[in-house]
A and B are shown apart, each in its own frame.
Chain A
């Protein structure tokens, strides 16, 4: 496949399935990638021709999620070892912040409350203050946590059984809103809009829903869902899971990545598809826009998501592609 000039493959990709990747909120060239190869990888996407790996943080078990904290030197990870860790980029060592009763699927850092949120398959979320671990609080949930996302003071918790809880981080004693996903199948990912108006969620059944925080009827009427990441094969509709969502930090549009290897750019307000990038050879495992909105990192890995029944992941399918967005790319209609 000839590589278009406006994207490149990051050198030194993980050796196994990518579980998540995220650009630093402070530095447009710092990319953090967690992988099933039991490492968290930190890249500088600006270095050299194809970027370079700055650090790898080895873990005892596969890492399921990672995120930046207040600064680029605050890096967090969580994974199959039940632990939530803070990583030190200088030394590459980890420091356990909290321990769940099962694998920790998702973590995210809330800048407003300066707290780290972790969600686990043990059906609980923890709110962690990295500076004072004594204040860590745990909140039982009705189902396994599949995805967390936070913006402003709001935390969105997507769980199994299509359950979605919204929390106000200033009062975690009880959920602010209890919702049922508007998608009929398992929620895969949830991401908050940068303007804190709502969130998008995706399911394993080729669909994305856009919903709004405001519980008023007017606002709720605006919610919608659409089909995507499907293809027809001999008259059969093949439906891929939508594994990754990422909002553009400036335009508020979002990208979706599916098991079909396709990345699409959507204007959630105009309900339009802006772009659909050419298909990548493996399932999209992670998406992230850089903080200036000029780059989109795309992680691809084969696995259950693109039809490998045994979950096999050939190393060559694991790639991190950094796509440079051109002027106005990702800009919604009428913006």
Chain B
């Protein structure tokens, strides 16, 4: 019964076995310490400092040595000052008090467990996944693959979108799309990894649409049709907008960096969704980047969010995702976040203020370019739900498109450099597997944060209610008494005195 393990999370048995002081409800590591405590705090003679072993001993001592009557045990909690109990260590404590004490301990343990669960939200025991993701992300080969994919995407985008004529410009526009696509491309590399992750995520984070996203994205590369539909289907069904939003959120959580890529990828998708109408732009060319599209989709919504236009659901969701992850609860938080548009921005800020802008810009670009791709996706993925929303966004995005060149360049940088570099810096590894890391990170983060808070709460002793016997801070008791009729006094010469 007295084995000691897991000091951090003591089990109820261990707690129950701890010796405790009846007078002050403190518990101790050892019975000897408890007895020393009682002698020092409760059985010490005020007069001569002699330490007795029990309240009765102290009473006799007081009577015989000091001729005084001991009436209460010192430093005892209210109601426990009685000197009639002969308590030594834990012996002599009334049984009902022992039971009450044990009940309190069990209740505290249960509460702590509940808090821990609430903190972690889901039974998040996947802290290791993020690391794996990170390593993957960091892996030079992966990076190279991503770069290649980006380049391809860029090229495709350039071809598809006549926006950027100049090399950089061309690149940038492509990158804008492609940049996101690039991230998608990376994602593609990751995708292989992601699919499993996605699968995992989906089960655990059921609430998290992100999981769904990741899955679709990952599959999209390898088998765009299958995954995309699934992911899309999942999204649209429960939360059309929310799902998309959530994914970004997951990214934000997983790693700031991932959000970048994630956004990019998603953004394209957003645009794509919007794009469907645009479809004409060049769906086929984009097809290779279905992932990108998804990402782009997400991306666009965020930009929209950033942009005043997007007040609607789409922008919020994206923003929300970024925010929710950080806040705490993996599952629950995201939704609340959705509601809060302002919050979204901060979330992006975390990912990287630059990212938001970039994303926005990228979106603008994305829209035109991705439009084709998106359309294809929309059709395939069944983003239709998203499609409508995106469309509304799309319109706003168009104006952005005009600015595309600049935007493109910006977007490009983020994707390549920022995406990786920032991602690493920010998120660490999560970038590669956006979905998984995000989920995992969110989970892990959330639990930690919440427990900490709980601990703090526990440490703070509940502030006792206080009652002041005399609470009038302006009029002294004597003045109050002087006002009583029976003390009324009329000075001989003047008016009434102090009535």
Contact = CB atoms under 8 A, between A and B. Distances in A.
Interface of A: 2, 4-6, 17, 19, 36, 60-62, 64, 80-82, 102-103, 105, 121, 144, 146, 160, 185-186, 188, 204-206, 231-241, 243, 259-260, 274-276, 278-279, 303-307, 311, 326, 329
B12 interface: no
B469 A102 contact: no
Nearest to A205: B468
B470 A276 contact: no
A62 B466 CA distance: 33
Given A62-B489, A236-B466, 16 more contacts: A81-B491, A144-B479, A186-B472, A204-B476, A234-B78, A235-B465, A237-B467, A238-B466, A239-B469, A240-B470, A241-B469, A241-B477, A275-B47, A279-B71, A305-B477, A326-B66
A61 B480 contact: no
A236 B469 CA distance: 12
Contact of B467 (A60, A102, A236): A236
A61 B497 contact: yes
Contacts of B491: 81-82
Nearest to B463: A237
B71 A80 contact: no
B460 interface: no
Contact of A186 (B473, B481, B487): B473
A10 B425 CA distance: 82
Contacts of B78: 231-235
Nearest to A79: B489
Nearest to B466: A237
B478 interface: yes
A163 to B, nearest CB: 13
B464 A304 contact: no
Contacts of B481: 17, 36, 303-304, 311
Contacts of B66: 326
Contact of B476 (A62, A160, A329): A160
A278 B69 contact: yes
Contacts of B467: 233, 236-239
A236 to B, nearest CB: 5
Contacts of B498: 80, 102-103, 121
B473 A185 contact: yes
B46 A103 contact: no
A287 to B, nearest CB: 16
Contacts of A103: 482, 497-498
B67 interface: yes
B482 to A, nearest CB: 6
Contact of A238 (B68, B469, B474, B480): B469
A5 B469 CA distance: 32
6 contacts: A144-B479, A233-B78, A236-B467, A304-B470, A304-B480, A311-B484
B80 to A, nearest CB: 11
Nearest to B498: A103
B58 to A, nearest CB: 14
A100 to B, nearest CB: 10
Contacts of B465: 235-237
Contacts of B476: 105, 144, 146, 160, 186, 188, 204
Contact of B489 (A60, A105, A232): A60
Contacts of B480: 304, 311
Contacts of A2: 69
A233 to B, nearest CB: 7
Nearest to A276: B46
Interface string B53-87: 00000000000001111010000011000000000
B487 A80 contact: yes
